[in-house]
Amino acid sequence: MAIFNDEEQQRIRKAIEDAEKHTSGQIRVCIEKTCSEDVLDRAAKYFHQLDMHKTRHRNGVLIYVATVDRKFAIIGDSGINKVVPDNFWDDTKEDMLNHFKYGNLVDGLVTGLAISGDHLQKYFPHNVNEKNELPDDIAFMDGD
């Protein structure tokens, strides 16, 4: 059984597109069923595997979720980490968790994406001359 149906995938993709309309930040969602290591290490592994560290301003953000193990993380690239406070993602994670704990995975992701876009626009405003550097689709991994 798929984690998301077509409509849910489209809803998440649209949330990524909407979040990126107001920022030059690049956001991706990475989903797998299980996470066999520390969640931040796993997210960092996929961050690099998905070439998110190759954006022009080093302002990529990965929202990683392991659905069966019920783990998730949000990580940003070095350009973001240089300019934001240490607790930058805390409210985003908390709002997402409020949805996740009731089984509302899609709502949690959409909420997290909207908040991420709002936060990023303060530090990385949208520039009409910049292109979308990363795909907006969900990266589904195999959870090995």
Query: Which domain covers residue 89, as residue numbers?
Result: 6-140
Measured CA to CA, the distance from residue 107 to residue 37 in angstroms comes to 26
In a domain, 51, yes or no: yes
pLDDT of 128 reads: 79
In a domain, 101, yes or no: yes
- Quote the tokens at residue 90: 């805390």
Higher pLDDT, 85 or 113: 113
pLDDT of 120 reads: 93
Distance (Å) of CA 102 to CA 5, 49, 77, 111, 123: 19, 31, 30, 14, 32
Q: What's the average model confidence in pLDDT over 100-117?
A: 96
Listing from the earlier edge strand, what are the strands of the sheet with 60-66?
A: 71-76, 60-66, 26-32, 139-140
CA angle 125, 61, 143 (to 5 degrees): 160
In a domain, 53, yes or no: yes
10-63 tens-digit pLDDT:
999 999 999 999 999 999 999 999 999 999 999 999 999 999 999 999 999 999
Is residue 74 over pLDDT 90? yes
Residue 48, domain CATH: 3.10.310.50
Amino acid (1-letter code) at residue 26: Q
pTM of this structure: 0.94
Q: What's the average model confidence in pLDDT over 97-120?
A: 95
User: What are residue 75's DSSP bridge partners?
Assistant: 62
pLDDT of 143 reads: 61
Cα-to-chain-centroid distance, residue 106: 12
Is residue 144 over pLDDT 70? no
The domain tally of the chain equals 1
- Quote the tokens at residue 111: 């909420």
In a domain, 1, yes or no: no
Measured CA to CA, the distance from residue 27 to residue 22 in angstroms comes to 12
pLDDT of 127 reads: 83
Name the residue with tokens 């969900």.
138
